[in-house]
Structure 1
Amino acid sequence: MTLSEQALVAARTAAQTAHDRCATARDALARSVDDEAAQLSTAIGQILAEMVGVEAQLAIYDRLITPHRKLSDAYDVAVEKEAILKDKLARKRSLEAELEERDVVLTALNEQLSHIIEQFRLPWARGRAQVDPDRLTPIVDGLPFAQRGGGSRTAVAVAYSLALATYSLENYAGMPGLLIIDSPQKNFGKNDHDQAVALRMYEWISRYLQANARRTGRHADFQVIIVDNHIPDDVRPEIPTIISFSSDTALLEDIPETV
């Protein structure tokens, strides 16, 4: 065998060896890739399974969170209501401490009503006045309020309203310091007796307002509004404020003639 042939054989042998090594390396690489791919596939499967489990848990949490939030909101409302209730109970106890016994209030109202009725000097009446403890309506000389009529009924109604207002004012009963009397002379007759009662009614109101004007504090907030087309001339100068309305100075202006 010539030298060239020997070199060729050696080259072929080396090439075959290299080829075999490449094949071996390729097979090893393939096995390694397959193993890693299998491991990766297994890991991915585990991750997917865990994700399914997490999503299931999240779905459960979503179902639970709504009633939990409602319960939390209800708790917050309950706490707020409890605070309001405590304030109201404290206010109730405070007001109860200021309240007079019912009999005490009725006794004071009876005295005030009797005093005003006495000052009005109703015709043909002794002036014995009291408040019906059951109906809380005025009784004068034993005659229930519903059985009265005309100017006498109006005078008793005004006297009772004044008694309630002045009692509230002087005893800090928490009532508004406002009394509105609408057309007190509407049911009064034109005879001397009724007109005299109307005059005495206005005189008492005027004297009380003048005395009250010198007071301070809560008394200063007391106001009486009387709507009357025929205020007696004898007391008009003593009334602090008189506002007159006519067709030219109406209380409500720009009212259409027809509706």
Structure 2
Amino acid sequence: MCLQLDPVEADIDPAAIEETRTALQQQLEDAQRIQQSDEAHLQTIQERSQQLSFAVTSLRRELDAQTRDAVAPRFDAIAEASSRVASLKASIDAITQLRESWARVRTIDADIRSLKADRRQVNKDIKEKSEQLKASQTLVGDLSTEFSRLLTSWNLPWVETAVIDRDSYLPVVNGRPFETLQASGGGIATSVNLAYSLTLLAFGLDHSDVLVPSLLVIDSPRKAFGNNASDRQRAAEIYSRFRTLADAYGERLQLIIADNDPPPITSGSFGKVEFDYENPMVPGVDHPGPDQVTRIESQSDS
């Protein structure tokens, strides 16, 4: 095999070969014994393994048999508890939603109570205002009566009915509203305005809850009337009303009348100031000069 020449027979030592053969044979026998010992040991171990496997299987079966009655119910209880937990969570979610709904309900209920309180207060206010309105309507009725009495006392041929409107509190004469009477101008408008203003003045002085000024300024009350006997008589009646007011209320009122002619009647209640080009101002009131005053129309424009 190694391509070397075989040794010469003379070079071979039979004793050495025999010794080597014997040693190898001894080694083979030792190996066989070790193999047999190992196989026996392996067999023993396999048998032991089988025995242990059988024991484990037996113990497992015994454990299953012993724990079947104890563990299985707990598994059922755990499953039932899990189901119960899920149900309770669902209930909690439902209750949470209900709680939010009840919170809204409580808010709505509070709003309802507040609205009811407001409604009670409004009803109370309506009742009070209704009572005040009734009282005011009574006052308006009294004012209407006084206005009608004064206007008809002047013996105006065109006066048939004279009242104060309960909604606008303005004069209505012969069914014609105040705006129409004003538009007509002349003696009709002047007479109605005079009667209305004088009635309001006296009514405010007689009734403290009627808030009207106690000052009345009348400009040219006779300008719209004629100058015949009936007109002069009517002017005298108007000035008689002025005197009656002055005598009745004294310093409680201030009545200023600007007229082109002297009063048609005499009275110690009147104070007279005459103006002309030489004396255009109220006595005792100095004029500050043309550069120190502003015309009323200029103030209105600004």
TM-score interval (norm. to shorter): 0.5 to 0.7
Q: Which has the larger radius of gyration?
A: 2
Alpha-carbon distance in structure 1 between the residues aligned to 2:133 and 2:246: 26
**Pair 136,105 (structure 1): closer, same or farther in 2 beyond 3 Å:** same
Return the match for 2:276 from 221, 233, 246: 246
Residue 157 of structure 1: aligned partner: 193
Structure 1 residue 116 corresponds to structure 2 residue 150: yes
Structure 1 residue 224 corresponds to structure 2 residue 260: no
Shift of 1:198: 1.8
Q: What TM-score do the two structures reach when normalised by structure 1?
A: 0.52
Return the match for 1:135 from 155, 160, 168: 168
Alpha-carbon distance in structure 1 between the residues aligned to 2:211 and 2:190: 26
Residue 68 of structure 1: aligned partner: none
Q: Summarize the alignment of residues 180-191 of structure 1 with structure 2, pairs less than 5 Å apart.
A: 180-191=217-228
Structure 1 stretches of 5 or more lacking a match? 1-95, 214-219
Specify the SS of the correspondent of 1:159.
Answer: helix
What are the Cα deviations for residues 111-152 of structure 1, in whole angstroms up to 9, with x where unaligned? 1101211222212434x3111223322122323332343112
Alpha-carbon distance in structure 2 between the residues aligned to 1:231 and 1:206: 14
Amino acid at match of 2:147: L
Residue 210 of structure 1: aligned partner: 247
CA RMSD of aligned residues (A): 2.8
Alpha-carbon distance in structure 2 between the residues aligned to 1:244 and 1:187: 21
**Larger RCO (CA under 8 A, 6+ residues apart):** 1
What are the Cα deviations for residues 184-215 of structure 1, in whole angstroms up to 9, with x where unaligned? 122222233333222211111112211223xx
Alpha-carbon distance in structure 2 between the residues aligned to 1:123 and 1:196: 13
Shift of 1:253: 4.0
Q: What TM-score do the two structures reach when normalised by structure 2?
A: 0.45
Alpha-carbon distance in structure 1 between the residues aligned to 2:142 and 2:278: 46
Q: How many residues align?
A: 155
Shift of 1:256: 5.2
What are the Cα deviations for residues 215-238 of structure 1, in whole angstroms up to 9, with x where unaligned? xxxxx32111111112343x1345
Specify the SS of the correspondent of 1:181.
Answer: strand
Specify the SS of the correspondent of 2:280.
Answer: coil
Shift of 1:171: 0.4
Alpha-carbon distance in structure 1 between the residues aligned to 2:189 and 2:259: 17
**Pair 144,176 (structure 1): closer, same or farther in 2 beyond 3 Å:** closer
**Pair 256,115 (structure 1): closer, same or farther in 2 beyond 3 Å:** same
Structure 2 stretches of 5 or more lacking a match? 1-128, 295-302
**Pair 221,211 (structure 1): closer, same or farther in 2 beyond 3 Å:** closer
Structure 1 residue 194 corresponds to structure 2 residue 213: no
Alpha-carbon distance in structure 1 between the residues aligned to 2:165 and 2:144: 9
Shift of 1:99: 8.7
Alpha-carbon distance in structure 2 between the residues aligned to 1:191 and 1:254: 42
